[in-house]
Copies of this chain bind each other. A is one copy, B any other.
Amino acid sequence: MTLRRPRAYLAGPEVFLPNKAEVFAAKAALCHRYDIEPTPPIDAAALTPSDRLSRQIYLRNVKLMDAADLIIANLSPFRGPSADVGTVFELGYGFAKGLPVFGYSNHPRNYLDRAEAFFGPSTPGRDGQKYDRVGHAIEDFDLADNLMIDETLEGFGGVFRPTGGEPGDLSELSQFERCLAYAAEHLERLRENGSAE
């Protein structure tokens, strides 16, 4: 019996890299090694230019997600201490659709450390929380990002990230590969449980 390879939507801010085609090609090659079919987000350059280019990209990405069997999200910080919001939207979307969702970040440190690195040291408030310089509380749960992200991924291996060292750039693939290996195993377990029924 031949099974269709599971199709992974590769959510991530690599879409904003000038060399995105190469980066996604490298990700695709790794996916194949784990018997997973890669689906990168749509490349705008592949679409007919129009004044509603953003609409076209959106509709195509939603369609790609709807045809996917899993999501693998690059949650590396993007233009601030948090992940790219487009990627996070897609994580929430895929999870609500019932897809297994997996995520990684190339940044070793937790959200509080990154927020402080960006905006300066936090100040403790009377309520015991830590506040940034404009008076907004900073989550202090030793998580990679906002708790809605980390806790969603808790059932899928957590947010894969380096244990130390300097942050990798968006195209670095070692955490992606760890995450991918975990996802492949997770799907294999699901398949075994499914066929045992």
Contacts and interface: CB of A to CB of B under 8 A. Distances in A.
A29 B117 CA distance: 38
A125 B86 CA distance: 22
Nearest to A138: B16
B147 A78 contact: no
A23 interface: no
Interface size class of A (residues with CB under 8 A): 35 or more
Copies in the complex: 2
Contacts of A94: 96
B85 A96 contact: no
Interface of A: 13, 15-18, 45, 53-55, 57-59, 61, 78-86, 88-97, 115, 118-119, 125, 127, 131-132, 135-139, 141, 143, 145-152, 154, 170
27 contacts: A13-B136, A17-B135, A18-B137, A54-B151, A55-B154, A58-B147, A58-B148, A59-B151, A79-B80, A79-B82, A79-B115, A79-B118, A79-B119, A82-B82, A83-B85, A85-B85, A85-B145, A86-B149, A89-B89, A89-B91, A89-B148, A90-B148, A92-B92, A93-B93, A93-B95, A93-B96, A136-B170
